[in-house]
């Protein structure tokens, strides 16, 4: 399944503070990167939705997401601060890749949180400096961070915030979003009431059921519009699960700021 891919222009990207996109809505759209993502929560809390799992992230937590893994974030209170780092495998010790933390994506270890923050601060300083030696030094600093995590992984606190029904439902939606899926059919499949499923889905993912389903369909449509010139707009809409091509065009323009036709032609 093709989903929207967000990657910086370079193989290393660093940002500290509040995401502009998330600050406006409190929720990011499901997406993935070709690069690794490291997320360090400084202040506030967020719900990280990664693949089919849900994690409640608190200050001091580090989230590590391999490339190609679908994820998005939700904030109850958008007043937060975090460090976001995207990098290629060049910056990651080869020993770490097959030796990821036992709790998979979320690394919670309060014993080393302060030391990890100091390394992130060194990374930030070198990233801003950006001279002829910065790239080599960034490799050293990020390697130090990963080795710190590896050396102390036995002290990592296991976190299990998962909601089994929602995880299974999301996996099913991702595999079948092109089919005729409704809130009622999903609730029936997982033996819960539509009201309960709708309320729980929004609480866990930060997105309403329809918005999440449409996001998958629109992201797939965006890929088709860029790569499949032989399909017309109506065919693409139907192929992505939209029964009404006018509704598809309206929703697509709301999200991407351009009509499907212009996207397909490569114009704005």
- Write down the mean pLDDT value for the chain: 85
Distance, CA of 127 to CA of 253 (rounded, Å): 36
Q: CB of 223 within 8 A of CB of 263?
A: no
pLDDT band for 1, please (50, 70, 90 cuts): very low
Side-by-side strand order, sheet with 106-107: 12-17, 81-87, 36-43, 62-65, 106-107
Q: Which residues, other chains included, contact 58 with Cβ-Cβ below 8 Å and sequence gap of 6+?
A: 41, 45, 108
Q: What is the mean pLDDT of residues 81-106?
A: 80
Angle in degrees, CA 52, 73, 179, rounded to 5: 45
Quick: pLDDT tens for 141-192: 999 999 999 999 888 887 665 667 887 888 888 889 999 999 999 999 999 9
SS3 assignment, position 50? strand
The yes-or-no verdict on residue 102 having pLDDT over 70 is no
Of 114-118, 140-144, 218-222, give the lowest mean pLDDT range.
218-222
Of 117-121, 174-178, 238-242, give the lowest mean pLDDT range.
174-178
Rounded to the nearest 10 degrees, the angle between the axes of helix 164-176 and helix 194-205 is: 90
Rounded to the nearest 10 degrees, the angle between the axes of helix 209-227 and helix 164-176 is: 30
Higher pLDDT, 154 or 78: 154
User: What pLDDT is stored for residue 3 in this prediction?
Assistant: 47
Q: What is the mean pLDDT of residues 31-47?
A: 88
């Amino acid at each position: 399944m093709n989903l929207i891919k967000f990657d910086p222009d370079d193989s290393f990207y660093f940002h500290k503070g509040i995401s502009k996109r998330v600050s406006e809505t409190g929720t990011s759209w499901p997406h993935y990167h070709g690069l690794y993502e490291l997320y360090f929560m400084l202040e506030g809390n967020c719900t990280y939705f990664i693949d089919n799992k849900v994690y409640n992230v608190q200050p001091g937590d580090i989230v590590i997401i391999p490339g190609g893994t679908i994820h998005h974030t939700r904030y109850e209170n958008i007043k937060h601060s975090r460090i976001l780092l995207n990098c290629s495998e060049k910056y990651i010790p080869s020993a770490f890749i097959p030796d990821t933390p036992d709790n998979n994506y979320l690394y919670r270890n309060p014993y080393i949180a302060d030391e990890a923050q100091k390394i992130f601060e060194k990374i930030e300083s070198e990233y801003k400096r950006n001279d002829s030696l910065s790239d080599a030094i960034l490799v050293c600093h990020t390697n130090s961070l990963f080795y710190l995590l590896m050396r102390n992984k036995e002290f990592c606190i296991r976190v299990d915030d998962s909601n089994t029904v929602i995880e299974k439902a999301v996996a099913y939606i991702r595999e079948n979003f092109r089919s005729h899926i409704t809130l009622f059919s999903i609730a029936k499949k997982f033996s819960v009431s539509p009201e309960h499923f709708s309320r729980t889905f929004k609480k866990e993912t930060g997105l309403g059921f329809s918005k999440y389903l449409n996001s998958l369909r629109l992201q797939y449509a965006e890929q088709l519009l860029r790569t499949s010139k032989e399909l017309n707009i109506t065919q693409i809409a139907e192929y992505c699960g939209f029964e009404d091509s006018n509704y598809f065009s309206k929703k697509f323009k709301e999200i991407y700021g351009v009509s499907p036709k212009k996207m397909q032609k490569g114009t704005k």
